Amino acid sequence: MKVALTGITGYAGLQLYYLLSQHPKVEAIQIYQHDLEKPEHVAKLNPRLSEVTALAKPYDSGAIMEENDVLFLATPAGVSSHWAQPYLAANFPVIDLSGDFRLKNPAQYEKWYQKDAASKDALAQAYYGLADLKENPGQHYVANPGCYPTATLLGLAPLVKQNLIEVDSILVDAKSGLTGAGKALKKANHFVQANENLQVYKPNQHQHIPEILQMLQSWNPDVKQLQFMTTLVPVDRGIMASIYVKVKAGITEEKLEQAFREQYANAPFVFIQEEGLPDLKSVVGTNNCRIGLAYNPETKYLLVVSVIDNMLKGASGQAVQNFNQLFDFSSTAGLHLQPLAF
C-alpha cells in the first residue's frame, strides 16, 4: 500500500514514519507538508531523517487521494477540522492523530481546546479508534485516541462495562514523560525546570477529560464525572495512570481480576500483570499496555495501574494498529516491538 503522512516534524509523526517504514504491507510512504510551495528533501523538514532521500511534497488533498491509499494526519489540534471535508466526501481512509475528531459535541471541543470545531455532521462520520476494545464499525475516518485516555480507558473498561464499581468514585492520577507535552518549547519542558522535578499541570482543565468521560458514558450512562489530574515527570516518554475506584459491595478481588482477563483475552497488546504493579520501563519502546491491580479489602478501594509508551500506544503505535484494523491486516503487523533493555 502507498501511505501519505502529514506532520513529520513532530514527535508522533517521526515515530509513525519509522513504524510505517518497517510495516510489511507498506510499499511507499509519501510525505506532504502544508507550508511547502515546492518539493523539498524530507531531511530539511526533520533532521532526524537525514538518511531519507525522498522529497516531501506540498500539501494537496486531491493529490494525496490520487497518489495514496490512506492518509495519516499527525498535525496539531485545529488543523484537521479544516482539512477533513474532502476526505469525508470521498470516503477516503484517514487516521487522524489529533484531537479534532474525538469529541462528538462541537461545543465541547471549543470549550476544552479553544479552537473552532468541525461540524457536527463531520464529527459523526469519524470513528473513535480505541483499538484494543472495539473493531472498526465500517467508517473510514479514524480519530486516534489521546495518550492519557488510552491508558486510563484501558484501565477502567472492565470495571465500568461490567458495573463493578461506584461510578462516582473514579479518581485518576496520571503522569507523563516530557514528549507528552509536545515539541514546542514551553517553560515546563526547559531542562532546568523539568529535571529532578514534578509538575502538576492543567488541573481540572486538561483537554483529555471530556474524551475520557465521553467513552465512559458510552459504556455506562450513570458515569457523570471523574476526577482527573496530570503530572509532568522528568522522563522522555511513558504514561502511568494510577486509577482509584471504590468497588461495589459483594464484588470480590477474584471477580475483579476475572473481569480484566475476560476483557483482554483477545487483545494482543494488553497484559494483565500476575504479581505486583507495572512500571514504565516494561512498556517503553512497545505498543503494549500493562495493567496491575491492588485491592484494599479494608477500604474497598481498587488501585489500577495502567502504563503505556505515550509515543507508541498513546499515538503512532495505536495509529498503526488502527491502520491494521481498517484494512483487515494482522493486528500486530508492523508492531513486533521490544521494550528498551536496561
- Chain centroid, CA 200 distance in Å: 21
Choose the catalytic residue: 5, 14, 65, 147: 147
Q: What span, in angstroms and rounded, lies between the C-alpha atoms of 163 and 143?
A: 27
Cα–Cα dist 210/216, whole Å: 10
Cα–Cα distance, 23 to 197 (Å, whole number): 38
Here the contacts of 280-284 (C-beta below 8 Å, separation 24 or greater) are 280/177, 280/235, 280/238, 280/239, 280/240, 280/307, 281/238, 281/339, 281/340, 281/342, 282/307, 282/339, 283/238, 283/307, 283/308, 283/309, 283/313, 283/339, 284/237, 284/238, 284/309, 284/339, 284/340
Give the number of residues written for the chain.
342
Contact 339, 281 (CB under 8 A): yes
The rounded distance, in Å, linking the Cα atoms of 4 and 71 is 5
CA distances from 34 to 31, 50, 160, 299 (A): 10, 20, 41, 54
115: buried, middle or exposed (CB in 10 Å: 19+, 13-18, 0-12)?
middle
The answer to whether the beta carbons of residues 340 and 29 sit under 8 Å apart is no
Q: Within 13 Å of residue 197, how many CA atoms lie on the same side as its CB?
A: 14
Cα(92)–Cα(141) distance, rounded to whole angstroms?
Answer: 8
- 147 classed as catalytic: yes
Which of the residues are catalytic? 147
